[in-house]
Amino acid sequence: MIIVGLGNYGETYANTFHNMGFMCIDKLAEKLNIKIDKNECDSLTGVKSINGKKIVLAKPQTYMNLSGKAVKGLLKKYDEELDNLIVIYDDIDIPRFSVRIRNNGSAGTHNGMRDIIEKIQSEKFLRIRIGIGKAEFDLASYVLSKIKKEDIDTFNLVYDDVTKVLIEYIKDRDYNKLSREGNIIKH
């Protein structure tokens, strides 16, 4: 299974809305005791076998809009099917602090997802979307803005909940339990 968190690398982008995928991967790595310290396929990765299943956690280092190159490379290197791909990312089209899980669909307004879909030639893979709400100003500036201090604790709860759900999914691969009707968290 390959679990990819989308974001932009570098301190400039730390704690921005667009790096929610990175933050979830960091939380998942912490819970699963996986070190994300390997450079491969244009990504920082960590790999571990859990109950006989190889888990790859990845943070593409290509900048958001070019994430497809990294994801395609990881799928090829680990010889994984799209059924074993999960992508975590921010989404302005759902309410702040909510999470939606789908196993297919379009990229919506997300350029990183658009690039992934284009590069792997499919929309049929699992995605976890973390709601950041509608842009309060210019979209590009909004997604690259720092998360307000008063929202950080709530987003940390969101990352915890996503992590718990993913750990359960890694154990039994039950999509119905994972999706919980498409919304797993509303804070």
Residue 153 contacts residue 17 (beta carbons within 8 Å): no
pLDDT score, position 181: 44
In the predicted model, what is the mean pLDDT of residues 156-165? 92
User: Which of these ranges, 46-60, 109-123, 158-172, has the smallest mean pLDDT?
Assistant: 158-172
Residue range 79-99, pLDDT digits in tens = 999 999 999 999 999 999 999
Query: Rounded distance, CA 18 to CA 34, Å?
Result: 23
Q: If you average pLDDT over each of 8-17, 105-114, 128-137, which comes out highest?
A: 8-17
**pLDDT(78) > 60:** yes
CATH superfamily of 2-186: Peptidyl-tRNA hydrolase (3.40.50.1470)
Question: Which sequence positions are flagged as catalytic?
Answer: 18
Query: Rounded distance, CA 62 to CA 180, Å?
Result: 32
Nearest to 46 by CA among 28, 64, 63, 65: 28
Q: 3-class DSSP state for residue 124?
A: coil
The residue among 50 and 85 whose pLDDT is bigger is 85
